[in-house]
Amino acid sequence: MADETSSTAPESPRVPTMDDVAVAAGVSVATVSRALRGSPKVRSETRRAVVDAAERLGFVVSRTASSLATGKVRRVAVLIGAPLTDWFSGSILDGIYDVLRAAGLDLLLYRVHDRTEREAFFAALPARRNADAVIVASFALSDAEQATLTALDMPVVYLSQRVAGHPSVGIDDLAAGRTATRLLLGLGHRRFVYLRAAPDRDFRWSAHEREAGWAAELDAAGVAASERSLLELAAGSGLGDEAAARLLTGPLPVAVLAEDDDLALSVLASLERLGVDVPGDVSIVGFDGQRRAVDAGLTTVSQPVAELARLAAEAAVALATGPRTTAPPEVHELPTTVVLGRTTRAAPAGGRRGDASSGQDERAARGTGGPPGATTT
Of 86-90, 132-136, 206-210, the least confident: 206-210
- pLDDT attached to residue 367: 31
Range picked from 30-34, 162-166, 266-270 for highest mean pLDDT: 266-270
- pLDDT attached to residue 257: 98
CA 242 to CA 239: how far, in whole Å? 5
Is the confidence at residue 127, as pLDDT, over 60? no
Q: Which of 291, 375, 231 is nearest to 87 (CA)?
A: 291
Confidence of residue 370 (pLDDT cuts 50, 70, 90): very low
Amino acid 159 reads: L
Report pLDDT digits (tens) over 259-318. Answer: 999 999 999 999 999 999 999 999 999 999 999 999 999 999 999 999 999 999 999 999
Strands 168-171 and 156-159: parallel
Q: Pick the more confident residue, 193 or 68.
A: 193
- pLDDT attached to residue 117: 82
Query: Across the chain, what does the average pLDDT equal?
Result: 82
Q: How many residues does the chain have?
A: 377
**Phi, psi (degrees; rounded to nearest 5) at 182:** -60, -35
Which whole number is the average pLDDT over 342-354? Answer: 77
Report pLDDT digits (tens) over 90-116. Answer: 999 999 999 999 999 999 998 887 778
Q: Which helix (H) or strand (E) holds 35?
A: helix 29-37
Is the confidence at residue 166, as pLDDT, over 60? yes
- pLDDT attached to residue 62: 54
Q: Which of 293, 301, 280 is nearest to 183 (CA)?
A: 301
Residues 6+ apart with CB under 8 A from 55: none
Is the confidence at residue 351, as pLDDT, over 60? no
Of 68-72, 193-197, 277-281, 302-306, the least confident: 68-72
- pLDDT attached to residue 369: 32
Between the alpha carbon of residue 75 and those of residues 71, 72, 133, 234, 319, the distances in Å are: 12, 8, 7, 38, 11
Domains of the chain with bracketed CATH:
18-61 (1.10.260.40), 75-170+307-332 (3.40.50.2300), 173-304 (3.40.50.2300)
User: For 113, how many CA atoms within 13 A lie in the half-sphere containing its CB?
Assistant: 8
